[in-house]
Amino acid sequence: MVQAFYHDNKDTESDFTKEHNSGIPVSLEQLESIGVFYRRVDTEDELNAIAKEREYKNRDSVKLNVETFKNDLDAFNAQMKKFYKEHYHEDEEIRYVVEGEGYFDVRDKEDRWIRTKLVPHDLLVLPLGCYHRFTLTDEAKYVKAIRLFKDEPKWEAINRDLNRDSEARQEYLRTIAA
């Protein structure tokens, strides 16, 4: 089951894969209030049912570890830093963890980081327009995940430092304002 807590904001460029738990837990209801959908999914049938209900038509599988980068540690670290840069997408980001573990950080309504630790059987859906970042955990340094998509994948990451508020971002802000 997902662990969610406020990030301690003490991460550095060299230790962002550490837990950084502030000791302040975050409930599933708090995640739902910012549009984050979480489910524990134990079977492929359950995953398929959620995909059908939420109209996800496509999927793929991804493995992420240093071996994915042909044991090139510099390439692996560069990709981890890229994933950890705060961004949003103009489509939902859906991940189902099959093996390994990772952290998805999302911003709450007050712009504080919430860290979610995902392990096998965790399904997390981040709404379009929601600022987030991702990293592997320091312990596992590996994840195998199924990515689900409504249509064809939209891969553009819109980094926060660009100050680009697309319609997707504006709609997200309207959704959580209530």
Domain total in the chain: 1
Q: Round the average pLDDT of the chain to a whole number and report it.
A: 95
- Domain of residue 128 covers 3-177
Tell me, what CATH number does 110's domain have? 2.60.120.10
Annotated binding-site residue? 89: yes
For residue 151, the model assigns a pLDDT of 85
For residue 156, the model assigns a pLDDT of 87
Return the percentage of the chain with pLDDT > 70, whole number: 99
Q: Collect all residues with Cβ–Cβ distance below 8 Å to 178 and sequence separation of at least 6.
A: none
Report, as an integer, the average pLDDT of 18-37.
Answer: 97
Annotated binding-site residue? 121: no
Q: What is the DSSP string of 15-50?
A: TTTS--EEEEE--HHHHHHTT-EEEE--SHHHHHHH
Report, as an integer, the average pLDDT of 112-121.
Answer: 98
pLDDT digits (tens, 9 = 90+) for 118-131: 999 999 999 999 99
For residue 155, the model assigns a pLDDT of 73
pLDDT digits (tens, 9 = 90+) for 101-111: 999 999 999 99
For residue 147, the model assigns a pLDDT of 95
Annotated binding-site residue? 132: yes
pLDDT digits (tens, 9 = 90+) for 126-148: 999 999 999 999 999 999 999 99
Question: Which strand ranges, in their side-by-side order, compose the sheet holding 143-149?
Answer: 37-40, 122-126, 93-100, 143-149, 58-64
pLDDT-derived band at 1 (thresholds 50, 70, 90) equals confident
Query: Is the per-residue pLDDT at 36 higher than 80?
Result: yes
The residue to which tokens 């961004």 are assigned: 87
